[in-house]
Amino acid sequence: MRGTDESTVAYSQFINQIEAGNVASAKIGSDRIVYILKSEETQEQSKQPKEYTTIPVPGDSDLSGLLREHKVEFSALPPSNSGWIGTLLSWIVPPLIFVGLWGWLMARSQGGAAALTVGKSRARIYAEGNTGATFDDVAGVDEAKAELQEIVDFLQHAAKYTRLGAKIPKGVLLVGPPGTGKTLLAKAIATEAGVPFFSISGSEFIELFVGIGASRVRDLFEQAKRQAPCIVFIDELDALGKSRANAGGIIGGNDEREQTLNQLLAEMDGFDTNAGVILIAATNRPEVLDPALLRPGRFDRQIVVDRPDKIGREAILRVHAKNVKLSEDVALEKLAARTPGFAGADLANLVNEAALMAARKNRNSVTVEDFNEAIERILTGLEKKSRVLNEIEKKTVAYHEVGHAIVGALMPGAGVVEKISIVPRGVAALGYTLQLPEEDRFLTIEDEVRGRIVTLLGGRSAEELIFGKVSTGASDDIQKATDLAERSVTLYGMSHKLGPIAFEKIQQQFLEGLTNPRRAVSPKISEEIDLEVKEIIEGAHHIALNILQKNRDLLEETAKILLEKEILEGEELKEYLKRVQKTPEMESWLLKGQLNSNLLEPTSYNGKEKS
């Protein structure tokens, strides 16, 4: 035995220790990991620090990333010398593995649709007859499901359609934000349709085909046709089908990719419509796709797979909670209401995080508390108990967060302030104010945009008011507030001076938060935009200060309690926030944004109208 004292711990505990920043160094072996804790390292020099051993879980490939992130010194462990048994095993085990793999390959190839050899290369696209997913596993995207059901029907009863001269669609494109279940849907169709299902992702496609020549693409379609009726699924199509127009630029284009794309286009034109091969592709960036891909006869059907609404979220939670033991107080409907904007993958993650949390606390079932903690964890990141703030920092963070909460309690449309915490969390947050909307919102009304900006500036304003100076902690708030103010002018047309003109081009349909390139504008307009943005920010800042001045006693009182308790939530927080007082300036400033009455009677404006 090496070290003075060795004890074996669970792998999960090891991970927890890394995340808590407690691990000083680790030696990684293929069959065990030996590590030392910081707390033990700093003890007397003469004594050997205590070593802990854990057995790594196979296939955990992010370990080195995690170690690097937490600045743990790590190195490799020499293979353990476990005597004759080890020697014997090393002779016997490899043949066993080989037999296993071989048997598995045999089983696969006997199961009907085998691996498809592409061209003369050894590259394969796997045919997944049974992907293990069914339509029942996909919830909350009913329209998309219905459309895909139709595709399944095409494949199963082709004659029914062709008899009347109808053409079966060749290509279906699933479009939607990440994590909404596009890949899952495609897998479900494979099972439901009961036909061979060839699956490859766009980047694999490039790896396999680009540079080898477009003939391989032809080969792929040849083979697919032989297996018809079948489905060919290309995931992340954008990796392959990027617009040829944009491919140029500084680097000088990508000839190989272009050729492959051309061949794909040609193939799609070439195969007979009713050959029984349906190409399904998925992407979350439809706007970068080459328009030639989208024209009729190619991916002529586009199915939008959007983020679920409240009812959809409830259904998705139900799917994922099926195998989880929920305590009686958990109402999935309420959870769905608390998670607007969550995609299917986020909800799956939420259920799992909550279950992990409950297990960690040795509970018999997953409670509401676990779910709330999991929501917070997803929204704000992990608690970082190791990040210790000094007194001044702590005080600054407390006033900052209470500032957000007080202003947030008054502003329209942002929901209820549920919790204030000064326990550091996630990558950057030293404290946070959790404000959850009460319902799904698809539009933000003008005064809500302005209110949001004021709330964002509430933190910094509290610092100014109390300490007479500001910290660096507000930079993220300022960034967000400025972005929002700029968007309200350039994208939403909310500025009276500039009017409803779009100064930005929308490019990223599903990737929010990316800044959009500005339309070509004259220097004068550009300056006016800047001035408008500045005016909004300055106005909001003034209002935030004004509100906090009026509620200064409450601010001080709440911040002191927060410093003591570190977390304020529930009824207690409600009692404090009930006492927040409005100011006349605030009301008139929020109103100022409303549509110009010379142009339109505000009463005739229907806020629910879709733009």
Residue number with CB closer to Mg ion (53 or 183): 183
Cα 605 to Cα 74, 447, 494, 496, 608, distances in angstroms = 63, 14, 14, 16, 9
Shortest distance, position 182 Cβ to Mg ion, whole Å = 5
180 binds ligand ADP (CB under 6 A): yes
Give the integer Cα–Cα distance in Å for 178 and 166: 33
Q: What is the DSSP code string of 448-516?
A: HHHHHHHHHHHHHHHHHHHHSS--GGGHHHHHHHHHHHHHHHHTS---TTT-S---B----SS-TTPPP
Residue 9 CA to its chain's centroid (Å): 32
| Contact (CB, 8 A) for 33 and 27 | yes
Give the integer Cα–Cα distance in Å for 37 and 172: 54
Residue number with CB closer to Zn ion (476 or 530): 476
Residue number with CB closer to Mg ion (186 or 417): 186
**Sole residue written with tokens 């110009």:** 596
Q: 201: which 2 tokens? A: 């992702």
Binding mask 307-346 for Zn ion (x = CB under 5 A): ----------------------------------------
Shortest distance, position 429 Cβ to Zn ion, whole Å = 9
Return the SS3 of 124: strand
177 binds Zn ion (CB under 5 A): no
Give the integer Cα–Cα distance in Å for 37 and 54: 13
Residue number with CB closer to ligand ADP (165 or 513): 513
> Cα torsion at 487, 489, 490, 494 (round to 10°)?
100
| Contact (CB, 8 A) for 481 and 537 | yes
183 binds ligand ADP (CB under 6 A): yes
Give the integer Cα–Cα distance in Å for 508 and 488: 17
Q: Do you find a cis peptide bond into 177, omega within 30 degrees of 0?
A: no
Among 180, 183, 223, 283, binds Mg ion (CB under 5 A): 183
Binding mask 463-502 for Zn ion (x = CB under 5 A): --------------x-------------------------
Among 119, 241, 344, 408, binds ligand ADP (CB under 6 A): 344
Among 140, 176, 286, 459, binds Zn ion (CB under 5 A): 459
Residue number with CB closer to Mg ion (183 or 461): 183
Shortest distance, position 606 Cβ to ligand ADP, whole Å = 31
Interacting residues with ligand ADP between 119 and 178 (CB under 6 A): 137-141, 178
Among 33, 281, 326, 348, binds ligand ADP (CB under 6 A): 348
* Number of residues forming the site for ligand ADP (CB under 6 A): 18
Cα 408 to Cα 433, 438, 441, 458, 577, distances in angstroms = 9, 14, 17, 8, 10
Catalytic residue among 147, 314, 376, 401: 401
421 binds ligand ADP (CB under 6 A): no
Residue number with CB closer to ligand ADP (136 or 556): 136
Q: 239: which 2 tokens? A: 């990796």
Q: Does the annotation mark 401 as catalytic? A: yes
Active-site residues, by number, are 401
| Binding residues vs Zn ion (CB under 5 A) | 459, 477
What is the binding site for ligand ADP (CB under 6 A)?
A: 137-141, 178-184, 282, 316, 319, 344-345, 348
Per CB under 5 A, residues contacting Mg ion are 183
